[in-house]
Amino acid sequence: METDQLIRTLAADTRQRPWPVGLVLAVALLAAGLVSIAMFSAALGVRPDVMSAMHNPFFDLKFVVTLALASSAIVVGLHLSRPEATLRGWAWLLLIPLLFLAGGIGCEMLLPQPVPMMTRMIGKNWSVCLVAIPALSLPLLAAALIGLRHGASTRPAVTGAIAGMLSAGLAATLYASHCTDDSPLFVATWYTIGTALLAVIGAVAGARVLRF
Amino acid sequence: MREREDDWTALMRAAISGDGAAYHRLLKAVTPVLRAAAKRGLARAGQPVDQSEDIVQDILLAVHLKRHTWDANAPFAPWLFAIARNKLIDSLRRRGRRVFVNIDDFAEVLPGEAAPETAPATEVAAQLQSLPVRQRQVLQSIAVESASIKDTAKKFAMSEGAVRVALHRGLASLTAKLREH
């Protein structure tokens, strides 16, 4: 086919306006969110004392951290879905959840604690946490990759890693409502391991599926 | 140069809001620039420059299918060159070369630089044959026979909407096949 012929063909295909990347991502994440919620309700469920736990600022902080992770990763991921985008000036957004976490750890240090530090860090649920966050993340990771695939990232592995962090942030939000370990030290350890794992899986998958 | 790029941005804005003629003019205008850059990139990588037209068509398809990722408030040229660079690197990589693509390949093009002879592109034409019959017929009718959507619809006893869908799907699967290839 001559290039002129191709150009004519492309110019004929302008009536349909493609969806913006953000919209595709939102729809995909909503659908996958329902799957993850179903998995969560079937296997774990919200902790029984949730009403009183909400009065504990360290319980609430878990959601601030996980939602900050999810939303900053969504913003950075959407930014990277444009071909000319670089991480410069945007990567710091991903530090926001870590700042909340560091603040939480600092506050906890200042308060008198009945349980020693190592016990708070190891917690009771670390093994559940290590399985639950990645498992709940997988449908969300698939959705994030589908959404971002609609974009045109010229850094597919990095964008995939961001998709992994995004899915871990959302999955951890669900998991946090089940887990009775509220210490920021626990979150900083086990949630971070889960998030890092998902970032690696996302990078490997992204390098394959986000190329365009 | 700046003026040219402002023209491109204005044309792309019109194109995004459904102006097919502006879109056609824009693609015609950027093609020689892409061709010259593709030739330079191939030459630099020690590859025969007669593959440049395949790369140009690859870039044009990507521009078309990813046009929604262009931010209408941003200039068009950096977006275009980012896609072009990505496609050039990709195609050199597929040919098994260490890749050094200079950003300048896409940044400075002498204004009036024309590409005298152009080697025929073969990849799109080859992949066209592997499309489902309907998509291939519609693409060929519009591309090769330069029929309008309306005439194509009449010829194959399809609705215009169905022709548009077949056209769009055909272009998308063509791009997917080029990527796998």
Give CA–CA dist B181/B175, Å, rounded: 10
What mean pLDDT do residues B23-46 have? 93
Question: Which residue segments constitute the domains of chain B, with CATH numbers given?
Answer: 1-103 (1.10.1740.10), 122-181 (1.10.10.10)
Which pLDDT tens digit goes with each residue over A1-57?
A: 789 999 999 999 887 778 999 999 999 999 999 999 999 999 999 999 999 999 999
What pLDDT, on a 0 to 100 scale, did the predictor assign at position B106?
60
Is the pLDDT reported for residue B67 higher than 50?
A: yes
Identify which of A142, A24, A166, A7 has the alpha carbon closest to the alpha carbon of residue B22: A7
Interface test with B, best of A84, A149, A153 (most B CBs within 10 A): A84
Side-chain half-sphere CA neighbours of B31 within 13 A: 24
CA dihedral B2, B107, A9, B65 (to 10 degrees): -100
Q: Do A8 and B24 touch (CB under 8 A)?
A: yes
pLDDT over 70, % of chain A:
100
pLDDT given for residue B6 in this prediction: 86
For the stretch B120-140, pLDDT in tens is: 778 888 888 889 999 999 998
Q: Is A81 on the interface with B (CB under 8 A)?
A: yes
**Between chains, do B66 and A17 touch, taking CB under 8 Å as contact?**
no
Q: Which two tokens stand for residue B138?
A: 């519609």
How confident is the model over B42-56, as pLDDT tens digits?
988 888 888 899 999
ipTM value, please give it: 0.87
3-state secondary structure chain B: CHHHHHHHHHHHHHHHCCCHHHHHHHHHHHHHHHHHHHHHHHHHCCCCHHHHHHHHHHHHHHHHHCHHHCCCCCCHHHHHHHHHHHHHHHHHHHCCCCCCCCCHHHHCCCCCCCCCCCCCCCHHHHHHCCCCHHHHHHHHHHHCCCCCHHHHHHHCCCCHHHHHHHHHHHHHHHHHHHHHC
| Model confidence band, residue B97 (pLDDT cutoffs 50, 70, 90) | low
Mean of per-residue pLDDT scores for chain B: 85
**What is the pLDDT averaged over residues B23-50?**
92
Q: For position B111, what pLDDT does the model report?
A: 45
Do residues A188 and A101 lie in contact, with contact meaning Cβ atoms separated by under 8 Å?
yes
pLDDT at residue A200 is higher than 70: yes
Of residues A97, A80, A98, A81, the one with CA closest to residue A89:
A80
Q: Which residues of A touch B33 (CB under 8 A)?
A: none
- pLDDT of the residue at B110: 47
Per-residue pLDDT of A57-111, as tens digits, reads 999 999 999 999 999 999 999 999 999 999 999 999 999 999 999 999 999 999 9
Q: Which residue of B has its CA nearest to A82?
A: B69
Binned at pLDDT 50, 70 and 90, residue B180 comes out as: confident
Q: Would you state the pLDDT for residue B121? A: 74
CB–CB of B57 and A13 under 8 A?
A: no
Residue B77's pLDDT band (boundaries 50, 70, 90)? very high
Summarised one tens digit per residue, pLDDT across range A126-170 is 999 999 999 999 999 999 999 999 999 999 999 999 999 999 999
Distance from CA of A87 to the nearest CA of B (A): 14
